[in-house]
A and B are shown apart, each in its own frame.
Chain A
């Protein structure tokens, strides 16, 4: 059965996919991973609900991309945007929260995968407030 791997139209290079696949397989709460459509990972976790994750490499992910993802990948519930230099906009984060969809870069990935309700995970700042991966010039 074809898994449609080998190419994607989100410009995600193989080196990023390969790196992520190795990374996700080392997470202690992950028991199995399968990849299809080149950049979609079905992740079974030991205690918590399954995750369908889209692996991207986006410098700054905005709402237009989230709308496209909802249309192209209706089963995806977790968007991973890549390394810690990659960020998302507040509007994109808000939209994902409304859809109970995770939106994270690498600095948040490990923590989110420990949560059953993974979409609500966030780091906290020194004052105990949510700390999201937004960027300002």
Chain B
């Protein structure tokens, strides 16, 4: 799964960080996979970016038989740490 997520990140320039959280990363019997996607503040079309990322992860979910539950935040929003799990996020990808 890591490779596929990295491939999505390479293909989407405005996606800069990917984290996992929730039961999928703590146990073997999770129903879905919670993913936090952090996107650039100045992305030219945030709505389109949200749609495209949702489609990418839907297709990946179909391929891997995993239901992805996405949270998509801008850098500014993510800086406020609006998730309960912020301190235990699992880094999956960071754009260098």
A-to-B contact residues, CB < 8 Å: 9-11, 58-60, 62-72, 87, 89-92, 134-137
Contact = CB atoms under 8 A, between A and B. Distances in A.
Most buried by B among A66, A68, A92: A68
Contacts of A71: 47-48
Considering the complex of A and B, which 7 residue pairs feature the smallest CB-CB distances, nearest first?
Answer: A67-B47, A137-B86, A68-B47, A64-B50, A64-B46, A68-B50, A137-B81
Contacts of A65: 50, 72
Counting chain B residues whose Cβ lies within 8 A of the other chain, the interface size class is: 20 to 34
A87 B74 contact: no
Interface string B64-96: 000101111110110011111111000000000
Main secondary structure of the interface of B (DSSP, over half): mixed
Contacts of B47: 64, 66-72
Given A9-B54, A9-B58, A135-B83, A60 B46 contact: no
Contacts of A70: 47
A63 B43 CA distance: 12
A62 B84 contact: no
Contact of B69 (A59, A63, A64, A69): A59
Contacts of B17: none
A71 B46 CA distance: 10
20 contacts: A9-B54, A59-B34, A59-B69, A62-B71, A64-B43, A65-B72, A67-B46, A67-B47, A68-B46, A68-B48, A68-B50, A70-B47, A72-B51, A89-B73, A89-B80, A91-B74, A134-B82, A135-B83, A136-B80, A137-B82
A67 to B, nearest CB: 3
A89 B82 contact: yes
B18 interface: no
A131 to B, nearest CB: 16
A66 B73 CA distance: 11
A64 B73 contact: yes
B41 to A, nearest CB: 9
